[in-house]
Amino acid sequence: MTGGAPSFIARKTHLRLRRTVLGAAGVLLIAALSDPLSSQEAAIPTQEDRGIYGLAVDSATYPGQPLVVLLDEGLLRVEEDGTLLRRFRMVRQILHDGAADAAAELSFSYDPSREEFELDWARVVDHHGDVVSLEPVHVQEMDEPVARRSPVYTERKRVRASLGDVTPGSIVDWQYTLRVADPHLPGDFWLRWSVNGSRPVQRSRLTVDVPLGMDARFGETNLPGPTGDRARDGRRVREWSYDTVAAYEPEPFAAESNGVQQSVVVSGALGWDDIARWYDELSRHRYRLSPELEGRLAAVVAGAVSLDDSLRAVHRWVAQDVRYVSIALGLGGYQPRSAAAVAESGVGDCKDKTTLFLALVRHLGVEGHPVLVSTGQAIRTDLPSIYQFNHMVAAIRPGNEWIYLDLTVPVAPFDEVFGSLQGRTGVMLRGGGVAEPVRFPISDVTRNRSSIVVEGSLSEDGRFEGTYTEVVTGAIQYRIRAEFARPLTDQQRGSVARGIARRVFDDARTDSLELFDGSDLGITPRLWAGIQADDVLRQVPGGWMLPLRLARYGSAETVARLEEHTVRRFPIDAERVFGRRVHHTEYRILLPEGWRADLPNSVRIESVFGSYESTYEQAGRELLVSRRIQGTDTVVSPDRRDELVEWLTAMWDDHVEFIVLRAPPS
């Protein structure tokens, strides 16, 4: 696929409308899908539609809401051959100006290689249910945009529609249908349905319709189960229907697992082993090494003196020298290219790079398998489906322990599980139809460390000479590694030097600079600079002011947001407060003989959300000022909000911008 201008094609054919029939219980049926109406006929509201519009609210009763959802409706219908239909309808009442523009712009995505998309209707009515407009002002279909950096090549299309005459009081009503004629894996389907959200919903309804004898799995969160379940005409129909669903307000640091958000997940009845067998068929012949690739492997490991050296060399080559480009074209979204083809082209996506790496390490006699993971929501291991995953990594076992490697991250060390994967669940595909859920290891929080140390001496005339040292390790090292993964120009080195100097004092300069090669995965990221600065002291009554550039933690704005919710509903995820990491900043400055510092009180706070310590000391001529914060990954109950507020406030109040120094009497 080559880059180029996206195709902008206005297609009125996507406005062809289909008849929708409501069953006795109000369930969407599709018996009459083959009986299309004209676009004008289908767009005209029916008596049932007017009943939905009758749910309109008085805007005065929702002063803080820009809109109210009158109907949020979904239908999933699966056929015996694995083909399926998805239909979604949304009816929104606009309450305030701020929501009108966004509600008037619609956007939908689909894959034309396997899906048929129809915008059944998109209309605007007034609060009485009278028609304002029966169809959009304009509809366009276009290719999904491709980013120049880390591009994603896909066959997916995006349909945009613009509605006219949307104003406060208007009701926007649209429905679209997706038919999947060529499922990637027959019998595998996946649908996640949210019942409540940040907007009030007058009526929420999900219907799942499958043939009798076809099993489906359901996972409810904070819901008791279907509100309707019946068998009729050789099919089983389950329904989740709720009226007057209250909104919830998003809260800072909310944990994913909570008792607030209500949802339903629907999947097919396949097991993980079924998925492993399916992927095995797609990939089993992709691991073969061509003679050319065998020769390339020999060159890559030529300098290795041990198996560990060889594995590290192969990892570095695949991660850094094979360029990452995401390719999701048809079945190619799941089937990897051959290892030989990936090596020859020097380009591959996550599954391509994983396949190449595994082919090479297997050739070295090491066990290795692909692992399916999700970079978004956590995987539901009780609901197997390929649609839960959007990423693949490699697992190898050269000894007794598994090593997990994300080959799309060129700056991740061989022995370091990429930070965003730590603690997540994946599914290892062992081949031969065997799958195994695995949990990625979590490194100790103290391993994820950022340390800045400034050491030097201060003269009586305010001249500073010293050094700056910064070291970053663990799961927080990737950003700084990426910044120095390529050689810098003289101009870039100068910019880095000036940036480091300004972190110490205004108008400081560097007389020497030591950087590191971020692509060398065997070294620890470290920056070092010699620092000089003149006239760093400012005279104040009775002494001299020494400015300090210390990181400040906590936030008055965050505290205010926390205190807005007098009754908190969500548990608190401490990892979202600061993260599983340690930050340490330290100044060690040798003062002139006889000088003394006016020192603020040191602070030490231990909390379930982490620990914070600041130190202000003088021992002889040496002034020590330091701050250290360490986060955690604990989830605690909502009633500990005040404890979090206290911890954040105490850190924010420890605001020391300067130290007053006093010289001895003349």
User: Residue 97 has what pLDDT?
Assistant: 87
Looking at 221-379, list the stretches that DSSP marks H as alpha helix, in order from N- to C-terminal side: 272-283, 291-300, 307-316, 339-345, 350-363
Return the H-helix or E-strand segment holding 72.
strand 67-78
Report mean pLDDT in 10-residue bins for the chain, 666 residues. Answer: 31 36 33 41 81 93 93 96 95 93 95 92 92 93 70 80 95 96 90 96 97 92 94 95 95 94 95 95 94 96 95 97 77 83 94 97 97 90 93 95 95 89 94 93 94 97 97 95 94 96 94 96 96 95 93 89 91 95 97 96 95 96 97 95 95 93 88
| pLDDT for residue 574 | 95
| CA pair distance 374, 656, nearest whole angstrom | 43
> Please, which residues have CB within 8 angstroms of residue 74's CB and are 6 or more apart in sequence?
86, 87, 88, 89, 191, 193, 205, 206, 207
Amino acid at 500: I
354: left (phi over 0), alpha (psi -120 to 50) or beta: alpha
pLDDT value, residue 24: 31
**CA-CA distance, 429 to 414, in Å (whole number)?**
21
Taking the CB of residue 256, how many other CB atoms lie within 10 A of it?
Answer: 12
Q: Which of 284, 282, 385 is nearest to 335 (CA)?
A: 282
Note the pLDDT of residue 401. Answer: 94
Please give the pLDDT value at position 25: 32
Q: Is the dihedral of CA 322, 315, 330, 145 positive or negative?
A: negative
Query: What span, in angstroms and rounded, lies between the C-alpha atoms of 598 and 589?
Result: 14
Token duo for residue 478:
């990737």
Angle at 527 between CA 523 and CA 529, to 5 degrees: 145
SS3 letters across 203-238: EEEEEEEEECCCCEEEEEECCCCCCEEEEECCEEEE
Return the closest-CA partner of residue 56 out of 126, 150, 144: 126
> What would the DSSP string read from start to end of 409-440?
-TTS-TTS--GGGTT-EEEEEEETTEEEEEE-
Residue 397: partners with Cβ closer than 8 Å, 6 or more residues away: 366, 367, 368, 403
